[in-house]
Chain A
């Protein structure tokens, strides 16, 4: 029988899965405690955004966005190097962390893990840009903090089969 996720929308869109995934990834890959918070992340003139596309039974994207200083701090924790600009290594680190978060998130629902693929990360830097998706099936947008910094993660699903 063909697998369908249509009846599992409540499982796939459970916000606790995203929180658990982000916390787990930060603890294991960066060695820091990260928690969800309600206050918006402080805005920085320049931000770094990584996007991982989902394909298969669920289509959509996992989007990670942080200010440049947060992105550089994360890259430093991951690589053991110090950064004073958003260079290719910082972009690589942010793309990879978004990739791992997307994988951890889909892994929380077994049928999603087995029937949904991930794209290669795309990383965008700049200022004053927004993500627009027409009529998504569901959207989760959470803000998290670690040390004294904050960032946000969005899961947007535009179709579920």
Chain B
């Protein structure tokens, strides 16, 4: 498998580690992980680095994940790169909003590496 460069955006450092571990367990290897603790940090990082996959939490202080997603798309920072939103928000309305704003996938917490595999791997083969 080709090397995948992922950006994980979450204000929780523990969740960033869990997402990274889940990606590796899902079979993404080799994997290069870039971490951002907020939406604005994620935007800055995307201005200087290319990635193949973005996973972002929604419920974050300062700039939430949906605003981060809108900015990524509006500023064309990661053209063609799949964005997967990860969140505790479980309503269909949140899913619809994320897809409408330009996300390709959605993972609800709690999750396992099987969920990550199911939701993320097909997006990488399409990209």
Name A's B-contacting residues (CB within 8 A).
Answer: 24-25, 27-29, 75, 78-80, 89, 92-93, 95-96, 99-100, 102-104, 106-107, 110, 113-114, 118, 120
Contact = CB atoms under 8 A, between A and B. Distances in A.
Given A106-B90, A120-B59, A100 B14 contact: no
A114 B93 contact: yes
25 contacts: A25-B110, A28-B112, A29-B109, A29-B110, A75-B14, A78-B14, A78-B18, A79-B14, A79-B17, A92-B12, A92-B14, A93-B14, A95-B12, A96-B12, A96-B14, A100-B88, A100-B109, A103-B87, A103-B89, A103-B90, A103-B108, A104-B88, A104-B110, A107-B90, A118-B88
Contacts of B110: 24-25, 27-29, 100, 104
A139 to B, nearest CB: 22
Contacts of A29: 18, 109-111
A71 to B, nearest CB: 12
Nearest to A117: B89
Nearest to B92: A114
- Chain B interface secondary structure, helix, strand, loop or mixed? loop
B69 to A, nearest CB: 18
A103 B112 contact: no
B88 A102 contact: yes
Interface of B: 11-15, 17-18, 21, 59-61, 87-93, 108-112
Given A29-B110, A107-B90, 15 more contacts: A27-B110, A28-B110, A29-B109, A79-B18, A80-B21, A89-B13, A92-B12, A96-B12, A99-B59, A103-B89, A104-B90, A106-B90, A107-B91, A113-B89, A113-B90
Contacts of B18: 29, 78-79
A61 B90 CA distance: 17
Nearest to A103: B88
